[in-house]
């Protein structure tokens, strides 16, 4: 099984994606793929592995788009605060926090290529004075307590049952331990039904990864 270095990840992203504006969130631009299948196949070939998860980092998911919109509309939630973008993919949610004046943004994902995606997307979108102390924390943090964050944000994480159950438990625990916690959910099958919805956004979606041309993302306030 092959692994890639940071430089190889940066090069893979530049080769297989291009900067594309995020509709409804302009001027935000992300390194994105035009279609999921070619980049998925290229990832499996490059890593010499089969049946990998899709390259989530190469798209802006409806949950993250809605949550990013919510943060840009309510910058006081993150201003001068320590923010975690949990399961960040491209980093879209954390970027909205950095643009909105967060003191520190930590991006996390279990897919190591996300570190390079966040780096390239931060270069595209953040001016020097919008760069908070930026931090990458790879791996699975769901059992870690998430104690050193004022606000925890998670975009589009309720699409598989086991994973959703773990995220819900983790987000509830982070709230109990004193963080503010918001998740963006576009109606995925395993989203919690008991959490207060504090906003809804209709976001345009890419038909290469979704069946619909738009989705309504609920912002769940844990
Ligand atoms: C649908 S994508 C959403 C990405 C981004 N938040 C957005 O909205 O565009 C889900 C992400 O969750 C990540 N993920 C899955 N399980 C995880 C875990 N236990 N810890 C951290 N990230 C995880 C995946 O690698 C993927 O990047």
User: pLDDT tens-digit profile of 102-126?
Assistant: 999 999 999 999 999 999 999 999 9
Residue 61: φ, ψ to 5°: -85, 150
pLDDT of residue 206: 83
Spacing, Cα 92 to ligand 1 middle (Å): 11
Instruction: Report d(CA 195, CA 92) in Å as an integer.
Output: 23
Spacing, Cα 128 to ligand 1 middle (Å): 27
**Is 1 within the bounds of a domain?**
no
**Is 19 within the bounds of a domain?**
no
Residue 134: pLDDT band (50, 70, 90) is confident
Instruction: Report d(CA 3, CA 22) in Å as an integer.
Output: 29
Can you give the pTM of this predicted structure? 0.97
**Is 145 within the bounds of a domain?**
yes
Q: Which residues line ligand 1 (CB under 6 A)?
A: 56-57, 60-61, 63-64, 87-90, 92-93, 108-111, 140, 142, 155-157, 163
- Return the ligand 1 atom nearest residue 60 CA: 9
pLDDT of 166 above 70: yes
pLDDT of 2 above 90: no
Q: Which residue among 17, 33, 55, 56 has the greatest number of ligand 1 atoms within 8 angstroms of its CB, and so is best to mutate?
A: 56
**Which tens digits make up the pLDDT trace of 7-38?**
999 999 999 999 999 999 999 999 999 999 99
Instruction: Report d(CA 175, CA 177) in Å as an integer.
Output: 5
Spacing, Cα 130 to ligand 1 middle (Å): 24
**Is 27 within the bounds of a domain?**
no
Domain containing 201 equals: 61-221
- CA nearest 98: which of 84, 116, 117, 113? 84
- Return the ligand 1 atom nearest residue 141 CA: 20
Q: State the average pLDDT over residues 181-207.
A: 96
**Is 82 within the bounds of a domain?**
yes
**Is 10 within the bounds of a domain?**
no
Percent of the chain with pLDDT over 90: 86
**Which tens digits make up the pLDDT trace of 77-107?**
999 999 999 999 999 999 999 999 999 999 9
**Is 53 within the bounds of a domain?**
no
pLDDT of residue 132: 74
pLDDT of residue 68: 98
Comparing 31-35, 46-50, 53-57, the range with the smallest average pLDDT is: 46-50
Number of domains within the chain: 1
pLDDT of residue 1: 54
Spacing, Cα 104 to ligand 1 middle (Å): 20
Spacing, Cα 39 to ligand 1 middle (Å): 17
Domain of residue 83, CATH code: 3.40.50.150
**Is 171 within the bounds of a domain?**
yes
């Amino acid at each position: 099984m092959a692994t890639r270095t940071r430089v190889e990840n940066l090069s893979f992203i530049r080769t297989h994606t291009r900067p594309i504006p995020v509709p409804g969130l302009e001027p935000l631009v992300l390194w994105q793929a035009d279609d999921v299948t070619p980049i998925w196949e290229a990832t499996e070939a490059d890593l010499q592995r089969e049946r990998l998860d899709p390259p989530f980092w190469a798209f802006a998911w409806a949950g993250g788009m809605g949550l990013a919109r919510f943060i840009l509309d309510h910058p006081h939630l993150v201003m001068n605060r320590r923010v975690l973008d949990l399961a960040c993919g491209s980093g879209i949610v954390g970027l909205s926090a950095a643009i909105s004046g967060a003191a520190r943004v930590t991006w996390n994902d279990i897919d190591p290529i996300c570190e390079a995606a966040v780096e390239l997307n931060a270069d595209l979108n953040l001016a020097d004075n919008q760069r908070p102390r930026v931090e990458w924390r790879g791996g699975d943090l769901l059992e870690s307590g998430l104690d050193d964050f004022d606000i925890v944000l998670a975009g589009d994480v309720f699409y598989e049952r086991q994973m959703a159950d773990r995220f819900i438990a983790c987000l509830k625990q982070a709230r109990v331990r004193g963080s503010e916690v918001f998740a963006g959910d576009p109606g995925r099958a395993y989203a919690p039904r008991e959490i207060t919805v504090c906003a809804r956004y209709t976001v345009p979606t890419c038909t290469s990864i979704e069946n619909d041309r738009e989705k309504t993302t609920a912002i769940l306030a844990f």
